[in-house]
Amino acid sequence: MTVNDQIRFPKVRLIDSEGEMLGVVPIEKARQIAEESMMDLVLISPNPENPVCKVMDYGKFMFEQAKKEREARKNQQVTEVKEVGLKLTTEEHDLSYKTKNACRFLDDGDRVKVVVKFRGREMAYTSRGYDVMRTFSNACEEHGHVDRPPKMEGRNMVMYLAPGKKTT
C-alpha cells in the first residue's frame, strides 16, 4: 500500500480517522491533516480518476490485516489425498480391509485416490478393473461419493472419492 509521501496524485478523496468523508482535497492538505492527527495518510483506492485516501495508523492497520490473515489460515481445513491400492486379484478380505480404511479416511474429511494396478497380461481385462472400482465405490457410498470416475492412466486405473454424500 502507498503511504504518506509516496502518494503522487494532485487531489484525493479524503476519509478521516472516524470514517467521515471530507471530500476532494489537494494532497498537501491531506498530508497536513494526517500529520496534525499524528497518523498516516494511506491510499485505499489507486483509481486515477478518483483516488481515495484515509487517515489511519498504518502500523496498527497492517497488524490487524496480518491478524485476520492468520485467523483465516488457522480456520482453513486442509484436505489430504490418501491412496488405496488394489489389484484385479485382491481377495475379498483384503478388499474389505482397504474399504474400511478408505471409509475412515473419508470420515476424517480426506479425499481418497483408488488405484487398480494392472500387471502383465492383466491389461487385456480392463473391464474387470471397472467392476472392482464399482464394487469399491458401492462399499464406500455411505461415507463419500465418486468425485472423479474410474479412468485409465497408463497401466493404472484411477478413481477419486470425496467425503460426504453426493447432493444430486
Say whether pLDDT at 1 is over 70: yes
For residue range 58-93, list pLDDT tens digits in order. Answer: 999 899 999 999 988 888 777 789 999 999 988 999
Percent of the chain residues topping a pLDDT of 90: 69
Regarding whether 142 and 98 lie in a shared domain, the answer is: yes
Mean pLDDT, the chain, integer: 90
Please tell me whether residues 70 and 85 are part of one structural domain: no
- Mean predicted confidence (pLDDT) in 107-130: 92
Do 58 and 104 sit in the same domain of this protein?
no
User: pLDDT at position 167, please?
Assistant: 53
Q: Where in the sequence is the domain holding 131, given as residue range(s)?
A: 81-163
Asked, for residue 168, whether it belongs to a domain, the answer is no
152-164: per-residue pLDDT in tens? 999 999 999 999 8
Same domain, 101 and 151: yes
Average of per-residue pLDDT across 89-114: 93
8/62 same-domain check: yes
Q: Report how far apart, in Å, the C-alpha atoms of 136 and of each of 37, 58, 130, 143 are.
A: 68, 56, 10, 12
Mean pLDDT of 132-143: 92
User: What pLDDT sits at residue 17?
Assistant: 87
Over residues 11-55, the pLDDT tens digits come to 999 999 888 999 999 999 999 999 999 999 999 988 888 899 999
Is the Cβ–Cβ distance between 11 and 25 less than 8 Å? yes
Asked if residue 143 is part of any domain, the answer here is: yes
Same domain for 158 and 88: yes
CA–CA separation, 36 vs 27, rounded Å? 14
How far is it, in rounded angstroms, from Cα 46 to Cα 115?
51
- The CATH number assigned to the domain holding 22 equals 3.10.20.80
Using CA atoms, how far apart are residues 116 and 93, in angstroms rounded to an integer?
Answer: 16
Tell me, yes or no, whether 136 and 157 share the same domain.
yes
**Domain holding 155: CATH number?**
3.30.110.10
Grid cell digits, residue 60: 496498527
The model carries a pTM of: 0.56
Whether residue 86 is found in the same domain as residue 156: yes
Helix axes 126-139, 92-107, angle to 10 degrees: 50
- Same domain? 108 vs 132: yes
My answer on whether 157 and 95 are in the same domain is yes
> Which residues are within 8 A (CB) of 164 and not within 5 positions of it... i.e. 6 or more apart?
144, 145
**Domain finish residue from 74, 104, 127:** 74
Is there a single domain that holds both residue 16 and residue 85?
no
The pLDDT value given to residue 12 = 92
For position 72, what pLDDT does the model report?
86
Would you say 39 and 17 are in contact if contact means Cβ atoms under 8 Å apart?
yes
Q: At which of 16, 49, 74 does a domain end?
A: 74
Decide which of 24, 43, 74 is a domain's last residue: 74
